[in-house]
Structure 1
Amino acid sequence: MTKVPGPIKTFSHTLPGQHLYHGVLFFGFSPPETLDAVRDFQVKSDDVFLVTYPKAGTTWMQEIVWLLLNDANFSLAASSPVYMRSPFLEFKDDTLQEVGLDIANALPSPRVIKTHLPKKLMPEQTFEKKPKVIVLFRNPKDVCCSYYNFYKSSSSFGDFQGDWPEFLEMFLEGHVDHGSWFDFTKSWWPMRDATNFRFVFYEAMKINLLEEIKQLAAFLGKTNLSPETLSKVAEHCSFESMKVNPMTNHEDVYSIDSSVSPLLRKGTVGDWKNYFTVQQNEEFDQRYKKEMADLIPTIPFKFSFDDDVNT
């Protein structure tokens, strides 16, 4: 049994190489020495960091931003998986030959770099060099459901045999890779007014992807891209397109069993309603209000399109 930060609770599931780093739980693919090296990573002022909690639409945003920064070079995008064009900074997989720090260091500028880290564990130069930072938020109920399916399909998290109620409790207590969603979210929200930051909501992208892409292009200074080009980027980056695109669907990744659950599974808003019981939903809402009570202003998450439920 494993103890985790916060309330004293134990869980049967253990991540491969599980360890705590500055109070945050990580799997073995983000080992302590890599997390140490991330702190010393040499940031460039023209870098673009994509900051997300796992399963918040990361791959979607990676493809969009890479295409915008590379003048919608679809042919180049078709020649290399997105995880090699936009490295996962704190990730190290020797089998896959995917070492985020090495890939990032070898990339030409401007670099698009993905991370799931809370603010306190970011490279120290992030706040000195002031690169552009895009923070993508998704409502936590859908994040939790998506993460549950990912846990079941990916060997990176071990042979998870738990059920939905167990995983929900693990998620609430931060006993998942990259730790507490609450801590991650609260660490980044205060940066929303910084001029080099842009906060984007997954649900807004689902409502009007083209408009969000236009705003991202403006934030990135890509005023040379025509409306027609931006429309092509939106079409290329639709969920349906990315799900069948071998450069974005991760079906080549040995650790993901797509027959259990593909990386790009549904891409919907409100799927949590298919998982949460009434009691679980009430308990989640109570925990959310307690954890997020001090945030001013509150984060305008949209939990559903059906009944316009917002928090």
Structure 2
Amino acid sequence: MEKSFSHKLPGEHVYKGVLFFGYSPPGALDAVKDLQVREDDVFIVTYPKAGTTWLQEILWLIMHDGDFARATSTPVYLRSPFIEFKDDVLGEDGLDLANKIDSPRVLKTHLQHSFMPMETNKKNCKIVVLFRNPKDVCTSYFHFYRSSSSFGQFKGTWPDFLDMFLAGHVDHGSWFDFTASWWQQRNRDNVYLMYYEHLKENTLAELEKLAQFVGKGQLSTDLLSHIAEHCSFGQMKTNPMTNHLDVYSINSHISPLLRKGEIGDWRTQFTVEQDEIFNRVYAEKLGHLDIPFQYRPTESIGHGH
């Protein structure tokens, strides 16, 4: 039996079985399917709160050969549009922005594979998928729900949110469905799967591999080091072009968009019982896939990998 939840998202609707807030209206989701994809497009695909803004900034700088002048003068959400997002108050229409910007485009989405532009299956565009361990995603999403009016001033408790997350009753739907949909695409030539935790712990090595994948293998180690430094959590948190402190809907006093950026912060949030419940649901839904998620910093595991 479907559980019912009292919290309502502004303009919420169910599109092809997936819950969305009003900022991804049905018309925008329909239009995404018909987006004219360019051969040199790079799509960043993440579930919400998996390190999206961080990867947007990194990839935009890699694709634009370290153009720090633009990166420090234009907000990341204008340089790297969120394709299924439409906010009439901000006048921010992701598809409209995407159609206007010059190549190479770095386009952001939180969509499951089946919702993607149809041409991504035909064109030689690049798709970079960033996975993060789901307990940290869930913890971070809870704080984002609390702080952003886009989600309707969530006043529920952590146990309430955890129930919603496990049931897929959150904006952009089930993390489990999203993850399964992209895991199945991981061996395509134009799809590159990354892990937040690896990016955090081995930033430069991960940037070098990413640059190779997107056809920017010629970038120097010095430049990639500069990008890594510019995109460090501390820098991004204080950079007005990436921290979204100018976005009216986010109350950073409750919780800023870039909150902690840590590996394993879930352990401050989950009780032992909640952890066991989460593990059971995970095993039932995705256990058979053997995705190598990392739930703690490497140094606390006692071995690198």
TM-score by length of 1: 0.95
CA distance in 1, matches of 2:194, 2:165: 22
Identity %: 60
Contact 1:302 1:309 (C-alpha < 8 Å) held by counterparts: no
The Cα offsets for residues 108-144 of structure 1, whole Å up to 9 and x where unpaired, read as: 1110000000001111111011310000000000000
Q: Distance in 2 between matches of 1:213 and 1:195?
A: 18
Alignment: residue pair count:
302
Q: Aligned equivalents of 1:230 and 1:98: distance in 2? A: 30
Q: Does residue 300 in structure 1 map to residue 287 in structure 2?
A: no
| 1:146 and 2:140 aligned | yes
Contact 2:20 2:171 in 1 (8 A): yes
Q: Does 1:258 align with 2:252?
A: yes
Query: Aligned ranges for residues 42-81 of structure 1 at < 5 Å?
Result: 42-81=36-75
In the TM superposition, residue 309 of structure 1 has moved relative to its aligned partner by 10
Q: 1:198 to 1:308 in 2, by over 3 A?
A: farther
Pick from 101, 105, 108 the counterpart of residue 102 of structure 2: 108
**What's the CA shift string for 1:224-282, capped at 9, x where partnerless?**
31111111001001000000000000000000000000000000000000110000000
Asked if the contact 1:51–1:116 (Cα under 8 Å) also holds between the matched residues in 2, the reply is yes
Q: Structure 1 residue runs of 4+, over 3 Å off? A: 307-310
User: Match of 1:229?
Assistant: 223
**Counterpart of 1:3?**
none
Say whether the 8 Å CA contact 1:303–1:309 is kept in structure 2. Answer: no
Read off the aligned partner of 2:266 and give its amino acid letter.
W
Which of 128, 147, 158 aligns to 2:152? It is: 158
Which amino acid in structure 2 is aligned with residue 127 of structure 1? N
The corresponding residue for 2:202 is 208
**Equivalent residues of 1:19, 1:26 under 8 A apart:** yes
The answer as to whether partners of 2:41 and 2:107 remain within 8 angstroms in 1 is yes
Name 2:2's counterpart in structure 1.
8
* In structure 1, distance between residues paired with 2:302 and 2:17: 36
Q: Write the distance in 2 (CA, Å) between the matches of 1:308 and 1:285.
A: 22
Q: Deviations over 1:140-168 (max 9, x none)?
A: 00000000000000000002110000000
Query: 1:280 aligned to 2:274?
Result: yes
Structure-2 residue corresponding to 1:4: none
CA distance in 1, matches of 2:130, 2:287: 21
CA RMSD of aligned residues (A): 1.2
Which letter does structure 2 place at the counterpart of 1:185? T
Counterpart Cα distance in 2 of 1:96 and 1:74: 25
1:80-229 alignment to 2 at 5 Å?
80-229=74-223
CA distance in 2, matches of 1:19, 1:223: 42
- Is the 8 Å Cα contact of residues 208 and 217 (structure 2) preserved in structure 1? no
Q: Distance in 1 between matches of 2:55 and 2:225?
A: 15
Q: Check conservation: 2:60, 2:106, Cα contact below 8 A.
A: yes
Q: 1:190 deviation in Å?
A: 1.2
Unaligned runs of 5+ in 2: none
Could you list the per-position Cα deviations for residues 23-54 of structure 1 after superposition, in whole angstroms to 9, with x for gaps in the alignment?
00000000001111111111111100000000
Determine if contact 1:87/1:100 at 8 Å carries over to the other structure.
yes
* Alignment match, 2:26: 32
Note the residue ranges of structure 1 that are not aligned, 5 or more in a row.
Answer: 1-6
Partner of 2:274, secondary structure, is helix
Which deviates further from its counterpart, 128-137 or 175-184? 128-137
**What is the rounded CA distance, in whole Å, between the counterparts of 1:220 and 1:38 in structure 2?**
22
How many Å separate the matches in 2 of 1:309 and 1:166? 35
Q: What amino acid does structure 2 have at the position aligned with 1:85?
A: R
2: distance between equivalents of 1:73 and 1:224? 15
Q: Structure 2-normalised TM-score?
A: 0.97
- Separation in structure 2 between the aligned mates of residue 101 and residue 308 of structure 1, nearest angstrom: 45
Q: Would the alpha carbon gap of residues 85 and 8 (structure 1) be closer, same or farther in structure 2, given more than 3 Å must change? A: same
Distance in 1 (CA, whole Å) between partners of 2:39 and 2:181 is 22
CA contact (8 A) 1:242 1:248 kept: yes
Deviation of residue 308 (structure 1)? 6.0
- How many angstroms apart in 1 are the aligned matches of 2:240 and 2:302? 34
Describe the superposition over 1:191-230 as per-residue Cα deviations: whole angstroms up to 9, x where unpaired. Answer: 1111111110000011111111111111111133111111
